[in-house]
Amino acid sequence: MTIQPAKLSDPAVRAFVNAVNSHDREGFMSLLAPGATMSDDGSDRDLAEWIDREIFSSHGHMDVDNESRGGRDLIARYRNDAWGEMRTKWHFEVEDDGRISRFETGQA
C-alpha cells in the first residue's frame, strides 16, 4: 500500500519526495545541504549529473510503500522514462537545519 507523500514522517524526506514527483528542480536543490553527496547501488555518483539524468530529464516519480527510521529510510517504487519502474530503497541523512546532506538509493 502506498504512503501518501503528505503523510511521510520526516519533513525533509517529505519535501524531497514532493519535489521529485512535481519535477521541481529548484525546490529539490533547496533541500540539499552544501556539499551534499549521494550514492546509487553502493557507488558514489556526481550529484548534479545523477539527479538530472535519473530524476528531472527522465520524469522520475516515487511511490513510497514503506518508511522506517523515523521516515529517513524508504522503500519505494521508483519509475522514470529511462528505466521504467523498479523497487528501490532510499536512505537519507538530514542535518540539524533540516537539509539533506546525503542520500543513498539502490534496488531493494
* Average pLDDT rounded to a whole number, residues 65-94: 97
Spell out the residues 6+ positions from residue 81 whose beta carbon is closer than 8 angstroms to its own: 58, 59
**Do you know the residue count of the chain?**
108
pTM for the structure as a whole? 0.96
Please state the domain count of the chain: 1
* Average pLDDT rounded to a whole number, residues 80-107: 97
* Average pLDDT rounded to a whole number, residues 83-102: 97
DSSP the chain: -PBPGGG-SSHHHHHHHHHHHTT-HHHHHHTEEEEEEEEETTEEE-HHHHHIIIIITTT-EEEEEEEEGGGTEEEEEEEETTTEEEEEEEEEEE-TTS-EEEEEEEE-
Return the pLDDT at 45. Answer: 98
Q: Is 1's pLDDT higher than 90?
A: no
Q: Are 8 and 71 in contact (CB under 8 A)?
A: yes
Residue 33's domain spans which residues?
A: 5-107
Using DSSP bridges, classify how beta strands 100-107 and 32-40 pair: parallel, antiparallel or unpaired: parallel
CATH number for the domain harbouring residue 19: 3.10.450.50
* Average pLDDT rounded to a whole number, residues 55-82: 97
